[in-house]
Structure 1
Amino acid sequence: MDQKLVFSALETVCQEAISALSTSAGKPRADSMTRLLELMRQTQEHGRALQPVASGFAAVYHHYDFDPQTPGNGYRTLVKVLRSCIFHIIQKGRYIAANCHSPFFRVEHNTGEVEAYCSALCQLRALLYLAQRLLSDNEHGQLYSQEEGGLSEKFVQEYISMHKACFYGRCLGFQFSPSLRPFLQTVVISMVSCGENYRTQQSGFGMAALSFFTSGKYVMDPELRGAEFERITQNLDMSFWKSFWNLTETELLSGLAKMSSNQVQVNMALTVPPNPLTLPLASDPTLTTTVPPPLAHWGPGPVHMRLISYTLRQGQVSKELLELCRSEGTSRSLPAGFHLQKGADLSPCLLIHFHGGGFVAQTSKSHASYLKSWSKDLDVPILSVDYSLAPEAPFPRALEECFYAYCWALQNCHLLGSTAERVCLAGDSAGGNLCLTVSMRALTQGIRVPDGIMAAYPATLLTTDASPSRLLTLIDPLLPLGVLYKCINAYAGLDIQAVQGGLQISALTAVGQDTAVLTSDVTEGASSSAQSVPDCPGSSSSSQASSISTQSPGSAASADGTAEGSRDFPDGFQPLRSGSLAKIQTPRTPIIKNPYVSPLLAPDHMLRGLPPVYLVASALDALLDDSVMFAKKLRNIGQPVSLTVIEDLPHGFLSLSKLSKETQDASDICVARIREVFQQNPLSDTNKQPRKLSVTSSNHSSTD
């Protein structure tokens, strides 16, 4: 619908509802109607103020797209979210205008609904004003604020004082596909219930069971749910988030996931000992280079992996591989008689996967459901790496382990059921970051780079720079700003303490543990490649995190509850403020600017020579601008890159692939991009027509 038509419809509906409610004076329930009438007037006022703002963005936001065939960036997303909110208000307003005089009209319920969406509209108005300043301050086409402090600091100050609970109660997930809203409600209710019972000395499963009995009040009272969600996302520590996210690793939940996933012939957990590897140089295979095992923080340690294969192949039945197989709990990693079977021929292709989880949570087990489907659809072996997790294992341990696993897979591909003629790296979120940085590491060490990369909604910039899509962290139930910063702090090494040297904590042993401690120097034992980056801050962790809280004078709010710097908002307008302010620990360390942490900041020479990169992003993801700007960066230096932007889905949609047709279609798009790598199709020949999922896709080949 045209922009003007949207706001015209809102104005008409508000006026109709106001007229209908105004005639209730002197009738029963008149007092109850008064509040509803006032809310409709406030909504009308917000709509009138927002129309020129939204129109202003619509006139220019195409300049920030990757290209004309791929309409997607944070400015577009903010307007899209605003329109979604308005559509809900229009629907509710029409119902009120037509039914407010009915004896069956539930005044309190409808007042609660309108109040929630009116509050959401008010807060979105504030975000759009902040985005206006970002638009005026940035260079043409630049999505991230490059100003030191400035709007990035301003947004943090606004975030800790602005009311956010309205987005997690009645309005929860209004911007996403309707098929996902019941799931999001379940997740948020589970999260606030677990948050209430946190620190009760319960195990992960015990906490989940206890939370089941306390969740009823959050189902019945959405306002309470929203307020509690706001509290825990702002104030609970990383150990809670690790515990909650790792509930998917419990036997009960993983067993349920297994029931709905494809059956595969091989699902084998491996532990590879930390032995140096010798690999040929890509430029001259007669020469070799030595790849040491991971060393950062505690010295050499094994690397854990998972081999998934829909078809049983040669090598997968070898004694050599079986010796690396590890048991998982009481279940057998291999079926009885497995070693007696004869496998099919080796596959020419190999997929190496790095899972998401904010660098702090989950393992390959959490992602096995869609990996099994991928293995069936592609009919290739998949090696998923269980890298060590932060804060127990901050940068660069995960990168070292993933790079070592990649090199080991190249050298031992025959054990995995592949000849590795074509190798693709795939990962989501943090895993997408690791796909890019592992390939950069291979380039710097002269080792064969993969034949392609499929990175789904990757984190390419781990700094605190503001962007229009990152403003969504104020409303996103899956990626709120406070939690995002906790993950960055953990990976950067700002959330650790000293422990005995030599302690190695894997991704699997970290599951369910509270914050463990490591060496105080986060770069002790760092890889030589991370230390040798020219002009690259980030090899030292002496910097301290900046903490903004209610005790920080002038940092968040004045005595009357309004944030300083209100010049960003027009006279007479202030966003709604929260009753209790958040405590946000803003990442403050040069490490987050290291190219191996934030590949978007890598100099051009570190990116030239990368294989074709296929980026699959979501239009409603707070990290959308990470993908858009990284795609532009690669295109500008002549690197082959493809960007696909999917509508209506949240960050992490791969883990939700079994929940709806929309998420399954999105997973299928990722599979299609991986298949293009294996089929050796040049990017210039891979243009696709948009699908029903509302996908926009564009591809660019190298001009070299």
Structure 2
Amino acid sequence: MDYKAVFVALEEVCDESLDALCAPPDLPYAAAAQRLVNTIVQVQEHGRALLPVVTGFAAVFHHYDFEPETPANGYRTLVKVLQSCLLHIIDKTRYVATSCHGAFFRAEHNACELEAYCGALCQLRALMYLAQRLLHDNGHGQLISLQDGELSRRFVREYASMHKACFYGRCLGFQFSATLRPFLQSVVISMVSYGETYGKQQSSLGIAALSLLTSGKYVLDPEQRGAEFERITQNLDLQFWKSFWNLTESGLVTGFTRITSNPVNVNLALTLPPVQLRLPLTSDPRLSTPVSPPVAHTGPGPVYARLISHEFREGHDTEELLAYSDMEANPLALNMVSSWSQKKARSPWLMIHFHGGGFVAQTSKSHEYYLRSWSKALKVPILSVDYSLSPEAPFPRALEECFYAYCWALKNAHLLGSTAERVCLAGDSAGGNLCITVSMKAVSMGIRVPDGIMAAYPATLLTIDASPSRLLTLIDPLLPLGVLAKCLNAYAGVTCKGLQPVVGSGTLGALGRDTATLLSDLGWGASNWLQSFLDPARSRSPSRPPPTLALSTPPGRSASERILRSDGGGGGGEGGDYPDGFQPMRSECLAFVLQSSCPVIKNPFVSPLLAPNELLKGLPPVHIVASALDALLDDSVMFARKLRDMGQPVTLTIAEDLPHGFLSLSQLTKETEVASDLCVARIREVFLKRDPPSNLRQRPTAASPAV
């Protein structure tokens, strides 16, 4: 739907609703009716202010796309999210207009619904203004503020103080596919309930059981759910997230996954011993180079991996392969081997997979569902690497282990049921990063590089720099900035601790409410105290704004005057990101986001987007599959453009209406299944030697017009 038509429809339906609510006879629910009127007036004001902003973005969208056939970038995404919010508001407001005089009209419920979406619209308006600042201050065609540290610092300050709970309550997941929203609600409810019991002296299963008992109140009270989820994402430490994400590794979940997924004939956990390998040089195969086992941080150690194959092939029943397999970890392995009766020839293809999980969580088990499907669809054996996780094993341990596993697979492909004529690296998120960096390391060492890479929504820039798509971390339930920063800092070896849970506390509110409030007060005061030195004109002591948005407009005051203001905590007061009379809602407790200056984060083998061209030259064809609603979308677009401008073969495919991490959700909806199939299609292109078209490998000769 064209954005102009959306704004026209919004104006019309708001007028209709106001006429209906103000028309005689008097409504029996006067207080709720007044709330509806006030909210609809606010919605109109936001809509009128946003129309010229969106129009400005629409005029320059195309300058930031990877190519005309792939219209995707963070500015488009922000408008897409805003339009989705407006469509929800239009639908709810139209219902008010047609039903407010009906006997079964629930005035209180509808007032709460519209107030929630109005709050979300207010915060989205703030994001649009921040994106305007990025558009103004960034270089032509640049999506990420790589050179302007102040832009990124302002982005972090806004995240720290901006109210986000409205996106996790009634409005949860409004921007995503409708079929995914119930799942997202379940995830958020589970996370908040798990947070109540986190830190108690119980097993993971016991904590999960207690969480089920407490989840009901968050189903019934979405406002409480949003507030508690915001508190969790802002202040709980990395160990909480590791613990929660690793619930997918429990026997119950993995057992259910294996029952519901495609059966495979080979599923072996392997332990690769730390011995030195020798691989031939591509420049002269008569010569070879040593490949040492991983040694960073903890010294030489084994690398763990999982072999998955839908078909039983030559090499799978050899004693040499089974010697790498721990039979205690594979209790059915002996039975499985004895039941093998027919062997197929070795496949000419081999896929090596690196899983996602923010470098801090999950293993091949978490991703086994779609790997089983891929092995069947592609008829290929898959080696999925269980690299060591941060913060216990920060960079470069994971990269060393993945590179060693890649080299071991090349040398021992015959054991994996493959001749390795064509080798593809595949991974998602953190795994996508490792696919690229492993290939860079192969290029730098002069050994065989893979024949292609399929990277799903890869993390190519591990700095906390601002971009239009990264503004979505302020509203994304699966990738909030506070959590993303903890993961990236952990991989870089930067310590960042959040609020610790109180052992034995009954609720999340009890485990940190007073401490969070105290830290918030201290943070607020420290920010103003520091600002008084930086800007003497602001040395006055501003009053702290209230924590919530008042949704009733006092007589004689405009809606914009009623919106919360912040003189010391946000980017608006300092950088002029917001027009006069507007400020977004502010949170009760401030988040702490460590924006590290650690040089490791800018290491090209950590952030390949920052790699010099010399390191990227020689990479195989890179196929990136990203999501239009992913906060890391701009990372993918910028990396694809960098490779294209160098003449490197690259494609970028965009999945619509899905969040970051959609591969782990591939069994849930038709949309995620289709997105998974897109990844399979790209991997198949690698195996069938279908390189990207030449026009994607060459830099355009015509200069782009000025914005």
For the residues of structure 2 that align with 1:190 and 1:274, how far apart are their CA atoms? 40
Amino acid at match of 1:605: E
Cα 1:457–1:431 change in 2 (3 A) is same
Is 1:578 matched with 2:562?
Answer: no
Cα 1:551–1:27 change in 2 (3 A) is closer
Which of residues 502, 514, 527 in structure 2 aligns to 1:553? Answer: 527
| Deviation by residue 1:364-413 (Cα, 9 ceiling, x = unmatched) | 00000000000000000000000000000000000000000000000000
The equivalent residue for 2:453 is: 453
Matched-pair contact (CA < 8 Å) for 2:268–2:330: no
| Deviation by residue 1:104-159 (Cα, 9 ceiling, x = unmatched) | 11011101110110001000000000000100001110001134431211111111
Give SS of 1:139's match: coil
Deviates more, 1:553-562 or 1:278-287: 553-562
The alpha carbon displacement at 1:578 in A equals 1.1
The alpha carbon displacement at 1:188 in A equals 0.5
Deviates more, 1:242-251 or 1:195-204: 195-204
For the residues of structure 1 that align with 2:480 and 2:204, how far apart are their CA atoms? 22
The equivalent residue for 1:267 is: 267
For the residues of structure 1 that align with 2:334 and 2:150, how far apart are their CA atoms? 56
For the residues of structure 2 that align with 1:583 and 1:43, how far apart are their CA atoms? 31
The alpha carbon displacement at 1:210 in A equals 0.8
Deviates more, 1:402-411 or 1:561-570: 561-570
Structure with greater helix share of residues:
2
Which of residues 632, 637, 643 in structure 1 aligns to 2:646? Answer: 637
Give SS of 2:384's match: strand
For the residues of structure 2 that align with 1:60 and 1:303, how far apart are their CA atoms? 48
For the residues of structure 1 that align with 2:672 and 2:435, how far apart are their CA atoms? 22
The equivalent residue for 1:73 is: 73
The equivalent residue for 1:173 is: 173
| Deviation by residue 1:445-476 (Cα, 9 ceiling, x = unmatched) | 01100000000000000011100000000000
| Deviation by residue 1:44-91 (Cα, 9 ceiling, x = unmatched) | 100000000011101101110001000000000000000000000000
For the residues of structure 2 that align with 1:47 and 1:625, how far apart are their CA atoms? 26
For the residues of structure 2 that align with 1:118 and 1:662, how far apart are their CA atoms? 28
The equivalent residue for 1:201 is: 201
Is 1:16 matched with 2:16?
Answer: yes
Amino acid at match of 2:490: A
Amino acid at match of 2:183: F
The alpha carbon displacement at 1:496 in A equals 8.5
The equivalent residue for 1:423 is: 423
The equivalent residue for 1:650 is: 659
The equivalent residue for 2:617 is: 608
Matched-pair contact (CA < 8 Å) for 1:73–1:628: yes
Give SS of 2:421's match: strand
The equivalent residue for 1:475 is: 475
The equivalent residue for 1:92 is: 92
Matched-pair contact (CA < 8 Å) for 1:268–1:334: no
Which of residues 598, 619, 631 in structure 1 aligns to 2:607? Answer: 598
The alpha carbon displacement at 1:336 in A equals 4.3
Matched-pair contact (CA < 8 Å) for 1:7–1:47: yes
For the residues of structure 1 that align with 2:613 and 2:459, how far apart are their CA atoms? 18
1:128-527 map, 5 Å: 128-327=128-327, 331-338=331-338, 341=341, 343-495=343-495
Give SS of 1:643's match: strand
The equivalent residue for 2:124 is: 124
For the residues of structure 2 that align with 1:57 and 1:218, how far apart are their CA atoms? 37
For the residues of structure 2 that align with 1:558 and 1:597, how far apart are their CA atoms? 41
For the residues of structure 1 that align with 2:688 and 2:328, how far apart are their CA atoms? 35
Which of residues 615, 623, 628 in structure 1 aligns to 2:632? Answer: 623
The alpha carbon displacement at 1:206 in A equals 1.5
Cα 1:122–1:328 change in 2 (3 A) is farther
The equivalent residue for 1:4 is: 4
Cα 1:571–1:384 change in 2 (3 A) is same
The alpha carbon displacement at 1:485 in A equals 0.3
The alpha carbon displacement at 1:160 in A equals 1.1
Amino acid at match of 2:87: F
The equivalent residue for 1:28 is: 28
The equivalent residue for 2:554 is: none
Matched-pair contact (CA < 8 Å) for 1:457–1:615: yes
How many residues align? The count is: 643
Matched-pair contact (CA < 8 Å) for 1:470–1:623: yes
For the residues of structure 1 that align with 2:24 and 2:448, how far apart are their CA atoms? 75
For the residues of structure 2 that align with 1:24 and 1:650, how far apart are their CA atoms? 46
Matched-pair contact (CA < 8 Å) for 1:440–1:610: yes
The alpha carbon displacement at 1:588 in A equals 2.6
For the residues of structure 2 that align with 1:430 and 1:167, how far apart are their CA atoms? 26
For the residues of structure 1 that align with 2:265 and 2:16, how far apart are their CA atoms? 62
Give SS of 2:76's match: helix
The alpha carbon displacement at 1:22 in A equals 1.6
Is 1:51 matched with 2:51?
Answer: yes
The alpha carbon displacement at 1:615 in A equals 0.3
The alpha carbon displacement at 1:275 in A equals 0.2
For the residues of structure 1 that align with 2:310 and 2:631, how far apart are their CA atoms? 34
The equivalent residue for 2:518 is: none
Cα 1:633–1:599 change in 2 (3 A) is same
Matched-pair contact (CA < 8 Å) for 1:197–1:210: yes
Amino acid at match of 1:4: K
For the residues of structure 2 that align with 1:192 and 1:558, how far apart are their CA atoms? 33
The alignment's TM-score, normalised by the length of structure 1, stands at 0.89
Cα 1:328–1:362 change in 2 (3 A) is farther
Which of residues 589, 597, 601 in structure 1 aligns to 2:598? Answer: 589
Cα 1:348–1:638 change in 2 (3 A) is same
The alignment's TM-score, normalised by the length of structure 2, stands at 0.89
For the residues of structure 2 that align with 1:390 and 1:569, how far apart are their CA atoms? 38
Cα 1:703–1:56 change in 2 (3 A) is closer
| Deviation by residue 1:330-385 (Cα, 9 ceiling, x = unmatched) | 84345344386452110000000000000000000000000000000000000000
For the residues of structure 2 that align with 1:262 and 1:699, how far apart are their CA atoms? 36
For the residues of structure 1 that align with 2:31 and 2:294, how far apart are their CA atoms? 69
Amino acid at match of 1:581: L
The alpha carbon displacement at 1:702 in A equals 8.7
The equivalent residue for 2:106 is: 106
Give SS of 1:357's match: coil
Percent identity of paired positions between Structure 1 and Structure 2 = 66
The equivalent residue for 1:534 is: none
For the residues of structure 1 that align with 2:198 and 2:597, how far apart are their CA atoms? 28
Cα 1:699–1:180 change in 2 (3 A) is farther
Matched-pair contact (CA < 8 Å) for 2:27–2:33: no
Matched-pair contact (CA < 8 Å) for 2:262–2:373: yes
| Deviation by residue 1:150-172 (Cα, 9 ceiling, x = unmatched) | 12111111111111011001100
For the residues of structure 1 that align with 2:328 and 2:227, how far apart are their CA atoms? 39
Give SS of 1:269's match: strand
Segments of structure 2 that go 5 or more residues without pairing to the other structure are: 498-502, 504-521, 532-540, 546-565, 702-707
Give SS of 2:253's match: helix
The alpha carbon displacement at 1:552 in A equals 3.6
For the residues of structure 2 that align with 1:24 and 1:439, how far apart are their CA atoms? 71
For the residues of structure 1 that align with 2:212 and 2:478, how far apart are their CA atoms? 20
